[in-house]
Structure 1
Amino acid sequence: MNNNLAPTYQRLFGSYWVLWYETSNSYSVVDDDFKHLLYDYLECVSFDAFKSKIARVDSSLDADTIAKNLQSYLEQCNAEHGSDELLSTDFIVSKRKISKQYVFKDKAFQVNFDSDLIKKTIHPSIAHLETENNVSPSVIFDIYIESDQLCLFKNEVLVRIVPKQNYHFIQGKFAMELLSFIHDNEESDWLGTFHGSTISDGENSILFVGASGKGKSTLCALLTAKGFELVADDVSPMLAADSHIYHNPSAISIKKGAFSLLRPLVNGFDELPDTVFNKTKGVIKYLPCKTPNKNHYPCRAIIMVNYTKDSDTTLELRSIKEALETLIPESWLSPDPLHAKSFLDWLSKTPLYQLTYSDTESVTEEITKCFNRFKNH
């Protein structure tokens, strides 16, 4: 068989195997039976040899269909994803209609937009970093639409171009470029940026993940009001060198449904500006948080968040399958094989939970108890 299609790494997590394919930088979670069947297939010298092996095990099985399904699975797992490398467009300086300057600690940067609508994709989450002082930015970003394509430039060099409706890809790429700038790293230094929010107790951190609307940002806002530190909201970057999650200075995005919950807990909540970018998300407020005491923290757990009205607060262990199905689809993970191995190493020692909650006090107590498990880790 074509062993070039075999997974680069395989790692057992309980009753599931996580397989990583270098060609596509993709992760697949399979059960033990499928994994052994897959390797039986890969180790056979031909389709006929595999069919004969299957027939010896159970003559009632349709060996031909099994072989075709396994080959199709391998081809899908090895399918390379497209990239922007072959795309190019010239920088258009006349698109600089709106300019904003920002400072984070000693890092100054500028972002230029071609319209108020495009400004709303980036500015509201970093508006608290805006400065009115005349600064000399170390890096200048430009974001604009040209021929229905949304373009992101860094120092007048194109770094991402996507159809304008896929603006979230530009948001993600901008976050990566900004985080690399403020932490003095290159994109190749990061293990990944997770679509999730990270909270710290000043010693360790926990990564909260979940689909949009499940309450992870609201939970982080609640926890910061109770004295925890916000490390990152929505985009949580992990450095390959230490597998720590680093501070992302973006504000927490709060949807209108959580306003009444947070209003009594957050001073000046109603003074925060309302932002409306599209009708599906509705009104959003961005809640800035103070900078954490440390620049980065080890991440000791992944918690899948599920806000359910009038529910009891429960924190239950979950399988790697559920966690990766939640974590991976909207996260960026490094294609570097050494980084992929580090990611699997980190996962292997990181407990995975599901949190169901509705009550503010009890969820704070539950997260506090969770952090206490990792004291002096």
Structure 2
Amino acid sequence: MINKIIKRNIENKSIVWFQDNNEYLVVAPLVAEILSLLNQNVDKQEITTQITKQIDITYKEAFALVIDIETLLISSKETNSKSKLLTVIKPTSFASIKYYKIKDLILEVKYASDIEISLIHPKFAHLETEETKNINHKFEVFSNDNAISFSVDDIIIDTWSLKEIHYFQGKFSMELVQKIHQKDENQWMGVFHASAASNGTNTILCLGDSGNGKSTSLALLQASNFTCLADDFVPIDTSLNVHSFPSAISIKKNSLETLLPLYPELKMSAEYHFKRLNKVVRYLPTNNHNYSLKCPCKALIFIKYQENSDLIINKISNITAFEQLVPDSWLSPLPQNVKIFLNWFEKLPCYQLTYSNNKKMISTVSKIFTDEL
């Protein structure tokens, strides 16, 4: 067998998952069928004969199609693993040590320099504590001119090129969420680049490209008595519950005028300049304080703020939503969790929401929560 695959038909397409590189592909059902047959080592000539009975093409054309599709299985084995030559020597002393309290957890994080602090601390600054006894876990973050590493409880987790800073930040958050909720990585279905608002019973995930307004929408929903479960990093376990994540909501500079009347504390909050991302942000602590809340996901909303736009809400196909969701997500590489994810996603309502009026947006999201839409 060349590769292990899982396939699922959704709407008029097929989603195929390749185990070797944990990659998903949306293809026509015929392509998925051929992939499955190839994966079962069915003879290519036999597959070709089956194709000619299903579609009106010549045997030669069908055989060429099978060969082309076979390359998908082979190429899926070619992973983009980073060089294992990357090493960062752990320093003998650290520039800063900070302590964070999350629920009953006390976390010590040692930063080698201001560079590492800037990558992690701003979004967790509201959790900083002076309690330094009974530390539950110790994180250490250190880098050189080429790479960055971090350890958890004196065990090196990994090392990344400085071009892969977002992978480091994602792994840091993953280690943190495992400690908070006492779940191993294999107990998580996935982590989504989204904003999660809850009514206490269910959760709605707001998604969209950077700058579309998902974090601002979350802050507006929070001001309307919804609970912020997570911003940017939304973990969902294999029981299909969205869990709390304690980072603050990132507020871009162009959202301040809208949010200052609701959150006057933003006026005095620290401003952070992220040159690599070309953005200036402030951080708004969430109204979720014990981080124990977890709720199932009610729907996905691909949200976009567009000046002077009428409110437009449309249900979209799950395939369209899937193609937007997956590239920015971490999804479990375990086959049993892949099946859980596909079962979950297939039944999930997905919407596209464009708005300029904040009250109408809040009202529309409320109606999705209460099945009034």
TM-score w.r.t. the length of structure 1 is 0.90
Q: Distance in 1 between matches of 2:294 and 2:45?
A: 54
Residue matched to 1:160: 158
Q: Secondary structure at the match of 1:191?
A: strand
Long gaps (5+) in structure 1? none
Give how far 1:290 is off: 1.9
Cα distance in 1, alignment partners of residues 301 and 289 from structure 2: 20
1:174 matched to 2:172: yes
Contact 2:215–2:251 (CA under 8 A) maintained in structure 1: yes
Structure 2 distance, partners of 1:300, 1:78, is 35
Equivalent of 1:262 in 255, 259, 263: 259
> For residues 1-150 of structure 1, what are the structure 2 equivalents within 5 Å?
4-5=2-3, 7=5, 9-36=6-33, 38-39=35-36, 45-54=42-51, 57-59=55-57, 62-82=61-81, 89=87, 92-150=90-148
- Aligned-residue Cα RMSD (Å) equals 2.5
Query: How many Å apart are 1:167 and its aligned residue?
Result: 1.1
Q: Secondary structure at the match of 1:310?
A: coil
Amino acid at match of 2:19: E
1:323 CA drift (Å): 1.5
Question: 2: CA distance between counterparts of 1:22 and 1:201?
Answer: 36
Contact 1:107/1:182 (8 A) holds in 2: yes
**1:199 partnered with 2:197:** yes
Question: 2: distance between equivalents of 1:292 and 1:121?
Answer: 23
Assess, with a 3 A threshold, how the Cα gap between structure 1 residues 6 and 138 changes in structure 2: closer, same or farther. closer
- Find the counterpart in structure 2 of residue 273 from structure 1: 270
Whether 1:215 and 2:200 are equivalent positions in the alignment is: no
Distance 1:282 1:303 in 2: 24
Contact preservation (8 Å) 1:196, 1:207: yes
Residue of 176, 181, 184 corresponding to 1:183? 181
Select the residue among 267, 282, 286 that pairs with 1:285: 282
Identical columns (%): 32
Which secondary structure does the structure 2 equivalent of 1:62 belong to? helix
Cα deviations across residues 286-324 of structure 1 (Å, max 9, x unaligned)? 110122675201111111122222111222111222222
Give 1:160 deviation, angstroms: 2.0
Asked if the contact 1:126/1:249 (under 8 Å) is kept, the reply is: yes
In 2, Cα distance between equivalents of 1:65 and 1:205 = 47
Distance 1:275 1:65, change over 3 A: same
The 1:324/1:87 distance shift into structure 2, 3 A limit, reads farther
After TM superposition, give the deviation of residue 341 of structure 1 in Å. Answer: 1.0
- Judged with a 3 Å threshold, the aligned counterparts in structure 2 of structure 1 residues 338 and 6 are, in CA distance, closer, same or farther, namely closer
Q: Please list every run of 5 or more consecutive structure 2 residues that lacks an aligned counterpart in the other structure.
A: none
Q: 322-331 or 338-347: which moved more?
A: 322-331
The match for 2:246 is 249
Shift of 1:184: 1.4
Distance 1:111 1:42 in 2: 46
Length-normalised TM-score, structure 2: 0.91
- Going from structure 1 to structure 2, the CA distance change for 1:16 and 1:45 (only over 3 Å counts) comes to closer
TM-superposed CA distance for 1:192, in Å, is 1.4
Question: 2-side partners of 1:39 and 1:180: how far apart?
Answer: 35
Partner of 1:305: 303
Q: In structure 2, do the counterparts of structure 1 residues 50 and 10 end up closer, same or farther at CA, with 3 Å as the change threshold?
A: closer
Which residue matches 2:224? 226
Q: Hey, what's the Cα distance between the residues in 1 that align with 2:372 and 2:78?
A: 39
Letter in 1 for 2:243: Y
CA contact (8 A) 2:96 2:111 kept: yes
